[in-house]
Structure 1
Amino acid sequence: MNNQWLAFFQGIIFVKVQGQGAERFINRLIRSRVPIWNVSRQSEQAVSFSCSLQHIHKVRRAARTFEGDIYFYRGEGFPFLLKRLWKSSGFLIGAIAFLVVILLLSNVVWRIDIRGASPKMEHQIRKELADIGIEKGRFIFSMDDPETVQHKLLNRIEGVTWIGVEVKGSTFHFRVVEKNAPKEKKRNGPQHLVAAKEAVIVKLFVKKGQAAVKRDQFVHKGQLLVSGLIGTEEKLKEVAADGEVFGETWYKTTVEMPIETEFQVLTGQQVKKHMLQVDTFRFPIWGFKNHSFANHKEDEQVHSVSFLGMKLPVSYVEKTYYESRRTSRSYTEKEAEIRAREIARRDLEAKLPEKAEIHGEKILQRQFTNGKVKLSIHFQVLENIAVAKPITQGDQKNARRKKHNEYPTRESE
């Protein structure tokens, strides 16, 4: 037979014909168009051959008029293989069930390892992990991928600079870098506090040094705020001036806001597909229905599959299609102006230093053109304007001269 693979799936019967007229029996089969092959003589009155299982009834029909003996002594091919497997189905089912259980247990989280965190921080991280579904005994397939877990933890937990997330086998590994409270900088030497920018002084908190300005006083950039020279003219003492000087500063910003905006929103309808991925090929295992969404967003999560700690070249893919629709929102000119002011204030707050507060705002200019509102806004901000400046010898001479002018000697009088 030319196609041996086809013969294998159909099944092959090995037949032995014994008796007088064995050759005539073979010729009769050929005339009946029964395909046979591997014909060989076993003895003077015995011939063996092979034929397809689907033609066995023709061989039996021809055997009714044959005076000798016919033996079907062996069968090969897919049908006989299934029959043998069915006889040992209990063992086969047990072996398959054992492998499936081992595979499932290999993809369950058995350990969560956290390093680099203090006991308090570790407790907080484990609490947040439980909230987002990272717990012992759960399948890794049902959890977020490491990048998503990392992003969620960084957004939820304060006091950490970086969190590394890695999955090895059935263990989640977390590496934590906590934020260290900034240590107080050691003063290299005596210093003044001067103004970092123009401002009107609102309040002063002087810890060390002599205040050189008063409330409601306007100061220029670089002007002395707190002097690091204290004492009398004859005995000036240099100290590291320390404190906070809050002044009212000014910021001007321009913001544009469209009166009508278009965006996409999710409707809540979704279709999920579950697939196995081998190399670049994907085989659907659940969710065969295709979505009919005119507009949609896709979310895909790929989970690697492990077996006894070894990463297999197989991945479990969960792909979700979310239905979306385009919608538009229209603002009145007043609503657009309010929204633009909120955006401008939020952007400015993100740029301001710590402890700075916005105390007031005033719209300098407003325009409504081309479907947009354009605002020019002036903000009043209360912030610490004091920065350190080392004391020089010239500062000492100026301080002595100033004290001498303020308190002249008897001779000069």
Structure 2
Amino acid sequence: MEATARVRQKAGWRSLSERNGRRRKVRPILLSIMPLCFGLILTSCQKETASQADVVAQTVATPTPIAITKSSNSQRHNLKIKVGLDSPSDLKVTTGSSIQAGQVISDRLSSKQQLINQRQSLLFQIQQLQQQQRYQNAAKENELEPLKLAIKTSSLNLQQFRANRRYTNRAYQQLPTLTASELNRETQLEQACLSAQSRLKQAESNLKTARVSDENQTRSLERQMRSLDKQILIAGVTRSPYSGTVKKIKIVGQNDSELIAEITISTETSQTQNTANNDESQIQTSTSSVTNLKPNISLTATRVHDGDTVKAKEGNQEYRIRLACIDAPELKQPLGYKSRDNLLKLISQSNNRISLQIIDTDRYGRKVGLIYSTQGKLLNLQQVESGMAYVYDKYLNNCPQAQLVKQAETIAKQKRSGVWGGNYTPPWEFRHDKTRN
């Protein structure tokens, strides 16, 4: 045992009691050193945190662009429309055909028949009235001939009497008793001539008044005829409120007066959303002019003055509207009436219902704004696309859709549509020249 202990001592082994004693000596030293170590570690951590904060501050101070990704989500919807028919031949679309919003999908003759009968009756009245007017005018013109002959006869009698007088002018003045009978005869002839002229004037005035009255009656009937023509075009016509593809046509019911058809239209709607890398930040691109727009007002168009001016009302409130962003040819210019008729056609496709978005009020008190159809189409843009209006560069800064109308004008120029198909004077130059002259 002693030999083993000596070997272990030489090899560096220590007994348990020696090790415990050494530990008791080292422990106080470690306990005194530990607070100092913790302090050093805490100081170094604070320095590292401060340096990281500086880096973060520098990063925030320098703005970096946010990457934007566009995600397009498209969805297909099956929309159903029920229409009344007299027979399947009233349908104007077939399964699988593509249709646009506002396109006619059915046209019923029975709905128009009463209006057609009224039109035929009105046409017969116009023809009878015109024939009656011709007879009356001919009779009144014949009445003028005897009056003209009476004037000639009385004038001739007066001339003959004066030529065959027995006395001189001096005798008539100095001998009134002797010449009284002849003076009375001359006076009677003069009155007869004046009376014949007066009767002729009155007859001519009556004839003129009758012609004006006849023209007014004819114009009134013609206005009724035009109104009936417009009603005939609209009556019984069903237009599609959607653009898409006709997926299915099915007869779903029938009664004593009509068939009920159900038309299924497949439409596709796309929604484009801008998403940032950071979910909490969303970027919306808009101009100040758009954000300041007032809400849309639903109106009924009552009159189209020209290619960029419309009158509309809702209840007792009437609006005079000047289409923003564009300038159409004046009515006295070439294509002036064509531009007006094109705008009238666009408005009539939505049954004269429009939606107005007011941008400003001009010096004439008109509301300057964007006009949309019931299908959501911007009519200002469609006028430019069809070449029926120019982009009004002078006021383009106030136009929310400036980029779109400029693109539409470029396309119209390439196609040489409307005002771009010839050497026409822009309306603002036409107005300037008219004012100067």
TM-score tier (shorter): under 0.3
Greater fraction strand: 1
Greater fraction helix: 2
Greater Rg by CA:
2
TM-score normalised by structure 1 residue count? 0.21
RCO comparison, higher one (Cα < 8 Å, 6+): 2
